Amino acid sequence: MARHEPLPFDPIEEAARHWSTRWGAVDGMRAVTSLMRTQQLVLNELDDTLRDFGLTFARYEALVLLTFSRRGSLPLGKMGERLQVHPTSVTSIVRRLEVASLVRRVSHPTDRRTVLAEITDLGRERVSTATRALIGADFGLGSLGSAELTAIFDVLRPVRLAAGDFTG
């Protein structure tokens, strides 16, 4: 995605100015809007980095998930749960990875109703080279230091816990 010219003002501060005259709760609005805007900016940068590998961040995450699995394969439903995406999104992600020969669909050995996505050797190779590129790009967070990265993780962890992302 092409980078745009930076705005001459902070759009979140401008929104907060208008917001405060109508609804209050400015701190919450600024925090969530900043979080979502930053997520989009970082995702765009990650997708730009991964484009050379024929991947998007969503497809990259799926490959990493399969790489981390014991057998290199998972049921599509389990992938959706772990990646927190809708089943149709998982199907689309796996289809695109399959077209690129990075995964293959295989039948579950004991449950004929279940389809597994299995990472291929090419998929393992691709995720390895793409990971090196993401590390080289500081995961789109190169303007932050180690302490700031840790602080972000620590601040967001209770939100994830409260939302049921995992059990403490």
Long-range contacts of 31-36 (CB under 8 A, 24+ apart): none
Domain parsing of the chain, residue ranges: 28-136
Selection from 49, 19, 74 nearest residue 131 by Cα: 49
Instruction: Record the tokens describing residue 58, joined without a space.
Output: 């969503």
Place of tokens 């190169």: 142
Using an 8 Å Cβ cutoff, are 99 and 105 in contact?
no
- Architecture field, domain 28-136: Orthogonal Bundle (1.10)
Task: List the pLDDT tens digit at each of the 168 positions of the chain.
Answer: 446 789 999 999 999 999 999 998 899 999 999 999 999 999 999 999 999 999 999 999 999 999 999 999 999 999 999 999 999 999 999 999 999 999 999 998 888 888 999 999 999 999 999 999 999 999 999 999 999 999 999 999 999 999 999 997
